[in-house]
Structure 1
Amino acid sequence: MRPLNPQSAHIIPPLPDHWRDHFLPLIAGHDAGIHEQMSLRHVLLSLRDMPYARPRGGNTAKDCVSEWRGTCSSKHLAAHEWLTLTGHRPQLWMAAYLLDFQQPYFSDALRASATGTQVYDVHNFLSCDLGQGDIIIDITFPARLGRHGFPVTADWDGKSDFTLCCAPQERMALNDLESADARKRAWLRSLNTDPALQIREAAIMEMTHWLAVSDGGQASGLPHTCSSIPRFHSG
């Protein structure tokens, strides 16, 4: 873990290399705008707006930030890491819910295969006390996907709940981040039959492909920019 540069070291504690490498091009050797770039709101909304796709390296905070792509698993591990680095105490959760095959991104063939089968997915999100009690933090889908009907938080005032991206039937706290992905896979196996697990995987692939096509390639892991996050205006 190294600070960004001697001038920036006073802003936050030394960063893991993947965060340092993420911010280094943004500050370009000077601190102009670095406070905004590293603000909690800006980082969370930047993570929200990264392409929705599984990191090739795995569901880890490092791979999510390094590749600048993620789904609910890796995005919330990255957000958990940043919240912890900035002195907060986030809680990672997993929530079980039934997949809705009436969504437009699923094919008729997949809907037919799912008929009569309950297919569960497990969603990750965070809760954290940012000074006014615990709030929900859910940065799964980029804001731009709201126009396609995805549950998104279009903007955030820094104190309100994010929109939760599922209707949980049950939720569990995850306190050991190292085993979080393994526990999620184990819960998925306990909730689903083998055929249901195959349908779930096909559903994820169809949704990811649909996003890549409908969102102009933004779900494909294209290079990111953090300069497009809108400022919040109260009232």
Structure 2
Amino acid sequence: MLETDFFDKLLDDWADGLLYPESQIAVFNRIRDLPYAIMPDQTDPLRGPLNLLKEGRGDCTSKHFLLGILFERLGISVKYMSVPFLWDQQEFRYPDNLRELAESLPVSYHLACRALIGERWVLVDATWDIPLAAAGFPVNKEWDGLSDTLLGVVPTLVIPPEEEESVSEIVHESADERPELHRKVRRQYTPEDFARRKEFDEEFGLWLDEIRRGNRREE
């Protein structure tokens, strides 16, 4: 099946018969509810969403590439926004070992969307799945389909690679612009940065699964 047919069928499954704004709410909820996980194979604008759906979990990049694909099929124009942030400046209730690892990490770039709803570019962030709210993650539990959501991270001000001025948000007119930023950022990483990030990613994933198991036990 061609990717175009696949995404059309997916939209039919998730939002068939729903009208505006319930259609975009349904799409948002399905993507938000996919468990967040840092996945290195999901950075491509097309293969990323396909891998996200195949694996049943993914990160902010693949989630928002998928959201953009489906929103555009609903007739909603989308831009992408890369937001610089530091893992140790987030308000998550980290365990001590992760807090220590986070303090050693360089700047990362979160991805979210801006969707043209009505006459306004609305912030739409489907990053964190609902169980993570128990550990202080800014989960968007109920979106009305019209208003700004919470941003998934606390941003920081940085000078991006090969730029001259500091920013707190980089707007991409299309999804294809995001991978180049990803490559530029990673070219600045040292071997030590890569090693620390790998350790953090693994421990972070284990912690998120612990949070979800704890929520299931309480239900």
Corresponding residue SS for 2:138: coil
Identity %: 24
Q: CA RMSD in A?
A: 3.2
Look up the match of 1:67.
55
Cα distance in 2 between the residues matched to 1:18 and 1:56? 23
Cα distance in 2 between the residues matched to 1:149 and 1:77? 25
* 1:65 and 1:78 in contact (8 A); partners too: no
Structure 1 pair 178–217 and aligned structure 2 pair: CA distance change class (3 A): farther
Structure 1 pair 185–106 and aligned structure 2 pair: CA distance change class (3 A): farther
Question: Which of these residues, 37, 42, 63, is aligned with residue 26 of structure 2?
Answer: 42
Q: TM-score scaled to structure 2, two decimals?
A: 0.74
Question: Which of these residues, 64, 76, 83, is aligned with residue 95 of structure 1?
Answer: 83
Q: TM-score scaled to structure 1, two decimals?
A: 0.70
Structure 1 pair 98–57 and aligned structure 2 pair: CA distance change class (3 A): closer
Deviation of 1:174 (Å): 2.2
Question: Which of these residues, 193, 204, 208, is aligned with residue 196 of structure 1?
Answer: 193
Alignment of 1:147-226 (within 5 A): 147-168=134-155, 169=157, 170-190=168-188, 192-216=189-213
* 2:35 and 2:129 in contact (8 A); partners too: yes
Look up the match of 2:74.
86
Deviation of 1:207 (Å): 1.5
Cα distance in 2 between the residues matched to 1:141 and 1:73? 12
- Give the unaligned 5+ runs of structure 1: 3-14, 28-32, 219-235
* 2:134 and 2:211 in contact (8 A); partners too: no
Corresponding residue SS for 1:51: coil
Aligned residues: 197
Deviation of 1:23 (Å): 6.0
Moved over 6 A (4+): none
Cα distance in 2 between the residues matched to 1:150 and 1:141? 7
Cα distance in 1 between the residues matched to 2:141 and 2:212? 16
* 2:132 and 2:211 in contact (8 A); partners too: no
Larger Rg: 1
Deviation of 1:146 (Å): 1.1
1:124 matched to 2:121: no
- Give the unaligned 5+ runs of structure 2: 158-167
Structure with greater proportional helix content: 2
* 1:55 and 1:63 in contact (8 A); partners too: no
- The superposition leaves residues 38-91 of structure 1 with CA deviations (integer Å, 9 ceiling, x where unpaired) of 811101111001111245853312222343321101000000101111112100
